[in-house]
A = this chain, B = another copy of it.
């Protein structure tokens, strides 16, 4: 195999605020030989996700930081093209944290075989992968939607938010999505069935927008962005409100935290709950989530959209789009073709 090369993106710098393409460097490595029980994956699609900004930071989080001068971490889906492992035979499609590269060697730890009968394999990085499962368990287990309640979702056109909103509709909620730009808002309302949307780029007064779209107050705020929108939502929550904290993309690039009033008074007065979540906590129920969402897709109740850039060289560009809200749908990179 060694005559072929493996293009990889390395993390070479830890940004203090906005990441840039200069924080990454592409390198051509040889494809390593396989050891015992190992297999070689040809990456087909690579995922970029907001959480990766946290991995670029040095310091404690829910996972160790990405190492400098090593292949940047990230989920991917690919095809096994050579194998010394009977459980992972040649030809199978697998999804795992293979990193930003064209070929990955694995021994199967943390790798899932993709059921190609459910949906196109790219969905294993989106609606039937980490973001979709985050939405599914985060909404159902932390948000706990009840028929007739009002839910507000930030980054509603994103890979997580768009699934949260559609599941909330299935559960009979009034769904309000916050997204950037009229095209995304139109998509949420017309194609995904959201009841209302708020375009945060044109809507200067979020408080007024929440008043008019949530006349009965907010029962669930599924938060993907943090920042000033979260602060304002706290002024509009109902008794017993739930606030699943899924992400805070508006804050990831801040070199210093913003200073705001504590949310605790709003939580106390409303006996509300604010709770951080991570999809790993439901890893043993992964199959249930995938099967349920695949059923909803087949029934036409759950739609997804992908934003695909072509070529491994586009990985940093695709990643940086996330922080500007320039992706429209799950951002992935097409790296190679099935054999």
Chain A residues proximal to chain B, CB less than 8 Å: 60-62, 223, 226, 230-231, 245-248, 251, 257-278, 281
Contact = CB atoms under 8 A, between A and B. Distances in A.
Nearest to A248: B264
A247 B268 contact: yes
B276 A270 contact: yes
21 contacts: A61-B269, A62-B270, A223-B264, A230-B262, A230-B264, A248-B264, A248-B265, A257-B261, A257-B262, A259-B260, A263-B263, A266-B276, A267-B275, A267-B276, A268-B277, A270-B276, A271-B277, A272-B275, A273-B275, A273-B276, A275-B275
A278 B269 CA distance: 8
Copies of this chain present: 2
A151 to B, nearest CB: 18
A76 B258 CA distance: 44
A246 to B, nearest CB: 8
B264 A245 contact: yes
Contacts of A267: 245, 274-276
Contacts of A276: 264, 266-273
A272 B245 CA distance: 10
A57 to B, nearest CB: 11
Closest 8 CB pairs of A and B: A257-B261, A268-B276, A259-B259, A267-B276, A273-B275, A271-B276, A274-B274, A245-B268
A289 to B, nearest CB: 17
Contacts of A269: 60-62, 276
A275 B271 contact: yes
Contacts of A61: 269
A60 B239 CA distance: 12
Q: In the complex, which of the residues A247, A259, A260, A268 has the most CB atoms of chain B within 10 Å of its own CB atom? A: A268
A154 to B, nearest CB: 12
Given A273-B274, A274-B273, A258 B262 contact: yes
Contact of A274 (B231, B247, B275): B275
Contacts of A230: 262, 264
Contacts of A260: 259-262
Given A257-B262, A260-B260, A268 B281 contact: no
A274 B260 CA distance: 17
A248 B271 CA distance: 14
A247 B268 CA distance: 7
Nearest to A63: B269
